[in-house]
Structure 1
Amino acid sequence: MGVAIRRAGEGDRELVVRLLDEAFQDDPVSGWIFPETEDRRAKHPGLMAAFTDIVLAAGRIDLTEDGSACALWLSLPADDHDGDGGAEDDGPAQVRQAVDPDNERIEAIGRLTAAIHPSGRAHEYLWMIGVAPAHQGEGLGTALIESVFDRCDREGLPAYLEASNARSRKLYERLGFELAGPVLNLPEGGPAMWPMWREPRTAEAAS
């Protein structure tokens, strides 16, 4: 059974923010950014809102028709060294200022991931993918990713992401991603993030 997917618009903003907040509340990276549970409950939605607004403006958000999963994509040109679609270098600082000015880790995560982001080739960047907890394990994330793979393969575009936990890393490996460089170990005892890259597949390779 296929999964119906559509492109999200401004009217879907609150749904997307809620989905990302629910999906990433217990993610290791979110826990590193907001170590205190109550602080994370209060401020994590604001960070997800900032990310959503960036991608609504500069990229593409795919949403399952039933609103249970979404994927945030940016199309990055060959000379783009940032992980935010070409924003100015103060982009991470702007996000921090908007969400929680006293939290240095909000800015740090943006700068650290930008520093390991590959450059030199145009590619599709899967910034985040969120599935409502009640629907995890149903294949919705795979369907969202594979719908973009079809275009990547037609256009000869690679895809890139950072896996934020070991479980998602294994999923991405099954979908054809490979480790793209040294693992990013977040400072102060933080979790690992795995940069992963997928080369486009030709019709012969896919058959």
Structure 2
Amino acid sequence: MSTIERPSPGVLCRTARPDADELAALLAEAFHDDPLTRWIVPDPRRRAALLPGLFRVFVDVSHDYGGVSVSPCGDAVMLFLPPGASEEVDARGDELADRFAAALGDHAEALATIVRLQAEHHPAGPAHYYASFAAVRASRRRHGLLSGLLRELVERADREGYGAYAEASSPGGEAVSRRLGFVPCGDVISLPDNGPSLRPLWRDPR
């Protein structure tokens, strides 16, 4: 039985559990042109077809640990893991590899490379919140929705005395994180074959 404490919904969460397929579609739309997903699935049409299934896995895993925050309008979502949950997710490696393979087919190997590199760079301690994915609907960007969700997460971490960790795949995501007190930590995660990079970020509790 898990000993992870599931966070209670915050002020930016709906009281009803959002539809997982809707959230996966929102994430897929937002990440369609992200450097990471383009590296995983180079063909844009194939990428559009596969990303909803991939993000459905991430949504389900985050739901397992109470790690889904959604704006009241439903146009922004953040996936995260509470302290201790990353280790539980790592222990589910075989299960998740099968689900990723079912979602991505031949492209699952590229995702596995990213997951491996992330695991190698992930801080071993102290215990922390891990903000894994965030997305805002295109028509609602630049309205502060992403900042609001991330602010809620770091305020929760502060109240509980935990740090927070994230990996930025775009300058915009890094800028939002740094405005809320995240700073670069460790080496940049560079993907092989001249692939894109991820910038690890850390925030101490305040």
- TM-score, normalising length: structure 2: 0.87
Moved more, 19-28 or 89-98: 89-98
Residue equivalent to 2:83: 76
Residue equivalent to 2:89: 85
Unaligned runs of 5+ in 2: 1-10
Aligned CA-pair RMSD: 1.9
Report % sequence identity. 36
Residue equivalent to 1:175: 180
Asked if the contact 2:21/2:52 (under 8 Å) is kept, the reply is no
Asked if the contact 1:81/1:118 (under 8 Å) is kept, the reply is no
5 Å-filtered alignment, 1:5-16, equals: 5-7=12-14, 10-16=17-23
Matched, 1:96 2:100: yes
Residue equivalent to 2:195: 190
Counterpart-to-counterpart distance in 2, 1:32 and 1:184: 14
Counterpart-to-counterpart distance in 2, 1:138 and 1:109: 30
Asked if the contact 1:92/1:111 (under 8 Å) is kept, the reply is no
Unaligned runs of 5+ in 1: 202-207
Report the number of matched residues. 195
Asked if the contact 2:57/2:100 (under 8 Å) is kept, the reply is no
Counterpart-to-counterpart distance in 1, 2:39 and 2:150: 26
Counterpart-to-counterpart distance in 2, 1:160 and 1:186: 20
Q: Residues 33 and 124 of structure 1: is their aligned pair in 2 closer, same or farther, counting only changes over 3 Å?
A: same
Aligned-pair CA distance for 1:95: 3.5
Counterpart-to-counterpart distance in 1, 2:185 and 2:86: 15
2:120 to 109, 115, 120: 115
- TM-score, normalising length: structure 1: 0.87
Residue equivalent to 1:38: 45
> Which 4+ residue blocks in structure 1 deviate beyond 6 angstroms?
none
Aligned-pair CA distance for 1:19: 1.2
Q: Give the aligned residue type for 1:171.
A: V
Q: Residues 182 and 36 of structure 1: is their aligned pair in 2 closer, same or farther, counting only changes over 3 Å?
A: same
1:132 to 129, 133, 137: 137
